Amino acid sequence: MAQPEKKADPAEPANQMNEVGCLVRLGWMVFGNAALVICIGVIASQKGILITAADVVFWAVVPVLIWLRHVDIARMKGLTVSGQPATLSHWKRYAGLLLALSVVAWAAAHAVAWFHG
């Protein structure tokens, strides 16, 4: 005999607490940002204004973070800080802010390298 299909509780974040959802959230919230901070430190410690592997890694991580946040919202039912369901509007804001802050941090790191190199 077929069992009735279990309906998901809309109040329960379905994919938020599974392993993949957890890794996606940790990716864009912790690991990716840590990678950016490390890259900024490496860039700032270089002598002169050179494009190094740290620059390549930095600019490779930024779109990955934007993509991971999109996956978190679109596929994993990601939440906002206040626990509300995140929307594509939140994603657009995140992407714009991350890009703007990344440009500023990257330029500042190169300025430090240039003037202290």
Asked whether residue 7 is domain-assigned, the answer is no
Q: Which amino acid is at 18?
A: N
Residue 47: the pLDDT is 84
Q: Which amino acid is at 70?
A: H
Asked whether residue 59 is domain-assigned, the answer is yes
Q: Look up residue 6 and give its two tokens.
A: 């279990």
| Phi, psi at 104, each rounded to 5° | -65, -50
Closest C-alpha among 116, 115, 113, 117 to residue 43 = 113
How many angstroms separate the CA atoms of 10 and 25, rounded? 20
Asked whether residue 103 is domain-assigned, the answer is yes
Residue 41: the pLDDT is 96
**Interval 101-113: pLDDT, tens:** 999 999 999 999 9
Asked whether residue 30 is domain-assigned, the answer is yes
Asked whether residue 97 is domain-assigned, the answer is yes
Residue 15 sits at the vertex; the CA angle it makes with 88 and 102, to the nearest 5 degrees, is 45
Residue 81: the pLDDT is 83
Place of tokens 């941090």: 105
Asked whether residue 94 is domain-assigned, the answer is yes
Asked whether residue 98 is domain-assigned, the answer is yes
Q: Look up residue 26 and give its two tokens.
A: 């940790």
Given a cut of 80, whether residue 13 has pLDDT beyond it is no
Given a cut of 70, whether residue 4 has pLDDT beyond it is no
Q: What's the pTM?
A: 0.81
How many angstroms separate the CA atoms of 40 and 55, rounded? 8
**Interval 30-80: pLDDT, tens:** 999 999 999 999 999 998 778 999 999 999 999 999 999 999 999 999 988
Spatial neighbors of 14 by CB under 8 A, at least 6 apart, are: 8, 77
Asked whether residue 41 is domain-assigned, the answer is yes
Query: Into how many domains does the chain fold?
Result: 1
Q: Domain range spanning residue 69?
A: 19-116
Look up residue 33 and give its DSSP letter. Answer: H
